[in-house]
Structure 1
Amino acid sequence: MSVIPQNHVSAWARSFQPADERAPRMVCFPHAGGAASYYFPVSRALAGKVEVLAVQYPGRQDRHREPAISNIHTLAAQVFRALPKDKVGRTWLFGHSMGAALAFEVARLMEAELNETPTGLIVSGRRAPSRIREEAVHRQDDAGLIATVAALGGTDPATFADPETRRLFLPALRADYTAIETYRPVGIPRVTCPIHAFVGDADPLTTLEEAKAWREHTSGTFSMRVFKGDHFYLTARADKVVAEVSQLILSTPSHP
Structure 2
Amino acid sequence: MFTESVALRPAIQSVAEKWFRIYQARPGASQRIILLPHAGGSASFFRHWSTAFPDSIEVVSVQYPGREARINDALIDSMPELVAQLSEGLEEVLDKPYVLFGHSMGGAVAYELYLALLRQKLPLPTHLVISAIEAPTRRHVGDLHKQSDKALMTELKKLDGSQVNLADYPELAEIVLPLMRNDYQLIETYQPVLPTTPLNCPITVMTGDSDTELNPGDADAWQAETTANFRLLSFKGGHFYLRPEQQAVVRALTKICHQTQGAGSRQLYLP
Q: TM-score, normalised by structure 1?
A: 0.91
Instruction: Note if 1:113 corresponds to 2:120.
Output: yes
Q: Percent of counterpart pairs with the same letter?
A: 33
CA 1:50/1:207 → structure 2, altered by over 3 Å: closer, same or farther? farther
Residue aligning to 1:248:
256
Residue aligning to 1:221:
229
Amino acid across the alignment from 1:146: M
| Mapped partners of 2:144, 2:172: distance in 1 | 20
| Mapped partners of 1:224, 1:31: distance in 2 | 19
| Mapped partners of 1:78, 1:196: distance in 2 | 26
SS in 1 for 2:34: strand
Structure 1: where are the runs of 5+ without partners? 1-5
Amino acid across the alignment from 1:153: D
> Which of 57, 60, 67 is the equivalent residue of 2:67?
60
Structure 1 residue 215 displacement after superposition: 1.0
Residue aligning to 2:2:
7
SS in 1 for 2:217: helix
Amino acid across the alignment from 1:214: W
Amino acid across the alignment from 1:151: K
Residue aligning to 2:162:
155
Of residues 151-160 and 55-64 in structure 1, the stretch that sits farther from structure 2 once superposed is: 151-160
Amino acid across the alignment from 1:50: I
Q: Tell me, yes or no, if the aligned pair for 1:111 and 1:191 is still in contact at 8 Å.
A: no
CA 1:115/1:15 → structure 2, altered by over 3 Å: closer, same or farther? closer
CA 1:160/1:74 → structure 2, altered by over 3 Å: closer, same or farther? farther
Of residues 177-186 and 201-210 in structure 1, the stretch that sits farther from structure 2 once superposed is: 201-210
Structure 1 residue 158 displacement after superposition: 5.7
Structure 1 residue 242 displacement after superposition: 0.7
| Mapped partners of 1:204, 1:12: distance in 2 | 31
Number of residues of Structure 1 aligned to a counterpart in Structure 2: 251
Q: Tell me, yes or no, if the aligned pair for 2:29 and 2:56 is still in contact at 8 Å.
A: no
Q: TM-score, normalised by structure 2?
A: 0.86
Runs of 4+ in 1 over 3 A off after TM superposition: 6-9, 84-89, 158-161, 187-190
| Mapped partners of 2:216, 2:100: distance in 1 | 21
| Mapped partners of 1:77, 1:185: distance in 2 | 15
Q: Deviations over 1:157-209 (max 9, x none)?
A: 16553222211222111110001111111245643221110011111112351
Q: Deviations over 1:133-157 (max 9, x none)?
A: 2211111111111111121101231
Q: Tell me, yes or no, if the aligned pair for 1:188 and 1:216 is still in contact at 8 Å.
A: no
> Which of 138, 146, 159 is the equivalent residue of 2:145?
138
SS in 1 for 2:206: strand
Of residues 149-158 and 45-54 in structure 1, the stretch that sits farther from structure 2 once superposed is: 149-158
Residue aligning to 2:8:
none
What's the RMSD between the two structures over aligned residues?
1.9
> Which of 219, 234, 238 is the equivalent residue of 2:242?
234
Q: Tell me, yes or no, if the aligned pair for 2:28 and 2:56 is still in contact at 8 Å.
A: no
Q: Tell me, yes or no, if the aligned pair for 2:136 and 2:194 is still in contact at 8 Å.
A: no
Residue aligning to 1:37:
44
CA 1:58/1:126 → structure 2, altered by over 3 Å: closer, same or farther? same
Instruction: Note if 1:192 corresponds to 2:200.
Output: yes
Residue aligning to 1:3:
none
Q: Tell me, yes or no, if the aligned pair for 1:10 and 1:83 is still in contact at 8 Å.
A: no
Matches within 5 A, 1:40-51: 40-51=47-58
SS in 2 for 1:252: helix
Q: Tell me, yes or no, if the aligned pair for 2:130 and 2:203 is still in contact at 8 Å.
A: yes
Structure 2: where are the runs of 5+ without partners? 4-15, 267-271
Q: Deviations over 1:52-92 (max 9, x none)?
A: 11000011111111221111121111111112445366111
